[in-house]
Amino acid sequence: MTTFQQALHIFRKDVRHLRFEIAGILLLLIVLVLTGVQTWEGLQARGGPESSDGPLDVLLPVAWSLLIARAIQTEALPGDRHFWLTRPYSRTGLLLSKALLIVAFINLPLLAAQAAIVSLDGLPLLSNFGGLLWNQVLISVLLLLPVAAMAALTRNLAQFLPLVVLTAALLAGPVAGHRSMGDLEWIRSSLGLFIAAAIGLLVLRRQYALRRSVNTAFLALGSTVAGMILYLAFPQSLAFAIQSRVMGSPDGQFALRLDQTELRTKDLKDANRYRQMVALPIAVTGADPRDLRVDSSEITFKTLSGITRHSRARVNLVEQKLVHTMSLDRTFFDAAKDSPVTVRAELYLTQFGNARSINVPLDGTPVYLSGPGQCGVVAGYDRRTFVCRSAFEAPRPFLSDRVTREHRYSRWADSYAPFPSLPRLNPVISETYELVGQASDELAPAVPERPATLVVRDPVAYFRYTMEAPNVRLGDFAIIDPKEDREQ
């Protein structure tokens, strides 16, 4: 028997042995399709999208884990009592047989189920094919591979289950509790993905080649701890450097400067006793400020006497300027307001481009646009809403005159990730938006409405820009806190 023939032979044996577990998994996937499919007509009838979260999100991974553990432990690697150890088993053939089982009864059925959901939901399968495949990679690396590695280190379920629970408990805390890098989180997630794949493959390779379970377990533990430290300590500056390199920088004409031409002074006598609000308008040249998004900004004030203050600013686009509003402590402000101060702004910016638009009729007919996905109006019980749904990724943000920006961001919405999928079981992700304008409150408007225009832009540059303005008189930029203004 060749190695591959042997792998097929062992595979057939495992299928026979684990037929009930396999049948259970296929049944769960049928349930996933039946409960996961939401046609646009069905969505209209229900008055909006239903949550795709459910018990299957737990049941399927548990069932897969048990199948993998049972399959691998049929020819367990630790110990010296297993019959296969003194039979003419090829270790490569054995590993291949287990991989075949996982692909045949986990990856391929999930792929088919997800393809069915995408198609039946009315989303184009071909343009989501990359997401379909990448989702398999994510689920394989983040779930199946670690589970297979843990199964290869244990003799039976009594050892495997506590190890899984312990590992999950050890990893869940730090991963869930770490500070997110926002749009750059995908870079750290990719590192986590790489670490998980490397440790999983290392364990499987060592176990199937050497069967040194104790050594391999210590190696895996050490690698996991080192990987966690690397993952959690991954510097944001490095993530920024990678992102800038991936996405590019703006052209050389781009510049920011503090606009001191239209100073708006206010009567400060009723201002807050302890804090003072300051608004710095920053003018943009070399780019349309509407195409810019300030992801983060830090402003530093430095007086002639060397006193410095750092402040994080809230940024709004006002009259084509990026207005940075921040609060300074009263002592500093009063001391520095009339003397020249150097203002230094460090901004992290995203520039958008490649704008494209599409009109979506408000009569309930869905329209598909790459990015936001399938969008249209859905009539609910008391009002109409705008719904977009896409496969494997959250619908991309868009601009519209009739539809408000999304009111919430998905935690997983790594908008800068170049990968076409998030790890998901039900591939379709829906977002609900508010319709704006008079007719939006009516369930069935009498007058035909003009369609909503959605404008989708791609991020084309991600960069840091440092601007310095000397001899600034802080007092010229002081404003009354709008909240306090209202109170007065």
Residue count at the site for another protein (CB under 8 A)? 19
Residue 1 as a binder of another protein (CB under 8 A): the answer is yes
Residue 5 as a binder of another protein (CB under 8 A): the answer is yes
> Which residues on adjacent β-strands are paired with residue 89?
none
| Both tokens assigned to 37 | 């499919």
| 49 backbone dihedrals φ, ψ, rounded to 5° | -70, 145
Nearer to another protein, 9 or 257 (CB): 9
Task: Evaluate whether 276 touches 478 at the Cβ level (below 8 Å).
Answer: yes
Question: Between the CA of residue 27 and those of 30, 32, 63, 119, 375, what are the distances in Å?
Answer: 5, 9, 11, 20, 32
Task: Evaluate whether 37 touches 120 at the Cβ level (below 8 Å).
Answer: yes
Question: Between the CA of residue 41 and those of 38, 121, 431, what are the distances in Å?
Answer: 8, 9, 17
Interface residue with another protein among 20, 51, 80, 438 (CB under 8 A) is 80
Nearer to another protein, 13 or 450 (CB): 13
Nearer to another protein, 82 or 275 (CB): 82
Stretch that binds another protein, among 58-66, 75-83, 157-165, 316-324 (CB under 8 A): 75-83
Residue 90 as a binder of another protein (CB under 8 A): the answer is yes
Stretch that binds another protein, among 6-14, 230-238, 381-389, 417-425 (CB under 8 A): 6-14
The CB-of-101 to another protein minimum distance in angstroms stands at 16
Interface residue with another protein among 27, 45, 85, 443 (CB under 8 A) is 85
The CB-of-160 to another protein minimum distance in angstroms stands at 16
364: left (phi over 0), alpha (psi -120 to 50) or beta: left
Stretch that binds another protein, among 74-82, 279-287, 344-352, 459-467 (CB under 8 A): 74-82
The CB-of-147 to another protein minimum distance in angstroms stands at 22
- Whole-angstrom distance, CA of residue 163 vs CA of residue 207: 16
- Whole-angstrom distance, CA of residue 373 vs CA of residue 89: 50
Listed in sequence order, the residues at least 6 apart from 172 whose beta carbon sits closer than 8 Å to its beta carbon are: none
Residue 83 as a binder of another protein (CB under 8 A): the answer is yes
Nearer to another protein, 89 or 463 (CB): 89
Interface residue with another protein among 89, 234, 254, 412 (CB under 8 A) is 89
The CB-of-154 to another protein minimum distance in angstroms stands at 14
Interface residue with another protein among 20, 51, 81, 273 (CB under 8 A) is 81
Stretch that binds another protein, among 9-17, 253-261, 323-331, 404-412 (CB under 8 A): 9-17
Beta strands in 261-369 (DSSP E): 275-285, 292-303, 308-312, 314-318, 321-329, 341-360, 367-369
The CB-of-14 to another protein minimum distance in angstroms stands at 11
Nearer to another protein, 74 or 421 (CB): 74
| Both tokens assigned to 9 | 């032979």
Interface residue with another protein among 20, 51, 88, 158 (CB under 8 A) is 88
Residue 6 as a binder of another protein (CB under 8 A): the answer is yes
Selection from 464, 399, 454 nearest residue 247 by Cα: 464
DSSP state of 406: P
* 275, burial (CB in 10 Å: exposed 0-12, middle 13-18, buried 19+): middle
Stretch that binds another protein, among 79-87, 117-125, 257-265, 351-359 (CB under 8 A): 79-87
Binding residues for another protein (CB under 8 A): 1, 5-6, 9, 13, 16-17, 74, 80-83, 85-91
